[in-house]
Amino acid sequence: MYSIKGLIFCCSCLLIAGCTIGPKYVRPSAPLATEYKGNKDWKVATPQDAAIKGEWWKVFNDPQLDALEAQVNISNQNIAMAEAQYDEAYALVQAARSSFFPILTVDPSYKRSHGGVGSSSGVASPSGKNVSQTILGANVSWEVDLWGKIRQTITSYRALAQASESELENARLSAQAQLAQDYFLLCTYDAQKKILDDTDAIYQKFYNLTKNQYASGVAAQSAVIQAKTQLEGIEAQSIDIGVQRSQMVNAIALLIGKPASSFSLPTLTLPSSVPAVPVGLPSQLLERRPDIASAERTMASANALIGVAESAYYPTLTLSASGSFQSQRSDLSDLFMSPNPLWSVGPALAETIFDAGLRQAQTAQAKAVYNQDVASYRETVLTAIQQVEDNLAALNILDQEKQVQDTAVMDAQRSVALETNQYKAGTVSALDVITTQAIALNDEKASATLQGERLNACVLLIEYLGGGWTAPR
């Protein structure tokens, strides 16, 4: 009894006196600009990747997009995979925590034997008699965390679980952003298809006009052939847009976890405006980026593993106890009666004397991994800054280009009307009209493409800021 009490007292003292080996984790600094070139009033923010981003896509005010985005979080398989990886990481934390507690095993056994005449066996029994032997044993083993090895392991796994959670958020954000990009590209295809259809009607009227002019002897046959060639070309472009549209619908089906063969979308309208970027937006950068949070948590995990590697230089103390009850009678009622119990208690101290530099190499490896993670973290921050700068610049420049292009479209449409009237009057050739019509068509398609690029840049900016304009609360 006194031996057990003393053992418990010693264990308590060891736990209280236990220390943690390894460097204390401090988040390394990362290179940050004082402001963004594309946006003023920038301030450095505190990482808040866990903040709820909300349904950021609703800034586009598109019900069809809202309905599709709602399905991404439920059915996207990449998100489902990231969720399973997070569950795995959390299970590793739970498994590491179990090392704080003793391991208890039991090994009951029963044996019946017969001793022949003149036989010798380990069980004292009269020759020629049947003997029953029942043993109920139990063992307890507990590794005392003197140097913080278990604590550092748990810290490492906990940081990895947090990194996995950030990766889950990053997978969700990436899928949502990819869906929005595909959706607006599909809108662009539909807008271009409408332009082609409207142009086809115009070309058809001009083709009919040239045929009438030819029948009247006013126009040459070559004018009819040129008008027909232009009409056939526009019809070929319309078919090609249909192929691209079909592929984009299939891509959206994959993102929302539906078979492409059973998914379709109606003709969409390209939004005429792009959400305005609020002043001071880049202050959200480090607060909203889940990939930056994941890189930082990976650093913390690697730092803890340095302590795990360094703890191998110190001895390991294991406390163990075992006990059993043994009976050689068929009646089990006296199994727990004296003098049947057997027990033993004792500590074991293990220390590696020589390992040919193994522990030193393992510690150096852990430090090297940490340094790699530091560099990766800083690179992630630099990349984030670049991505925000790129898309702020894209939005600003594309906005100016769109205004110029819209002016070109209006001028081209007026030019087509003038050229057509002059052709009817016989003052210009059919080729002049066809050339002007081709310029107008290219300008209209370019305008639709620019609008799609503006929407895409807006989506990317939201993604690179971690999701939405709203500051975390």
Q: For 271, how many CA atoms within 13 A lie in the half-sphere containing its CB?
A: 22
- Position 341 confidence tier, pLDDT thresholds 50, 70, 90: low
Which CATH number fits the domain 19-101+146-313+357-464, given the four candidates 1.20.1600.10, 1.20.5.510, 2.40.50.100, 3.60.90.10?
1.20.1600.10
Question: For residue 337, with 0-12 CB atoms within 10 Å meaning exposed, 13-18 middle and 19 or more buried, which class applies?
Answer: exposed
Q: What is the pLDDT of residue 144?
A: 65
Per residue in 377-389, pLDDT tens?
888 888 888 888 8
- Which conformational region is residue 280 in: left (phi greater than 0), alpha (psi within -120 to 50 degrees), or beta? left
**What's the pLDDT at 61?**
92
Q: What are phi and psi of 109, to 5 degrees?
A: -150, 155
Task: Write down the pLDDT at residue 2.
Answer: 42
Distance of CA 89 to the CA centre of its chain: 14
Give me the pLDDT at residue 313, please. Answer: 59
**Least confident window among 182-191, 324-333, 356-365:** 324-333
Among 215, 11, 207, 186, CA closest to 101: 11
* Mean pLDDT in residue range 37-54: 49
Contact 255, 175 (CB under 8 A): yes
Quick one: angle between helices 63-75 and 149-215, nearest 10?
140
pLDDT exceeds cutoff 50 at 44: no
pLDDT(62) > 60 = yes
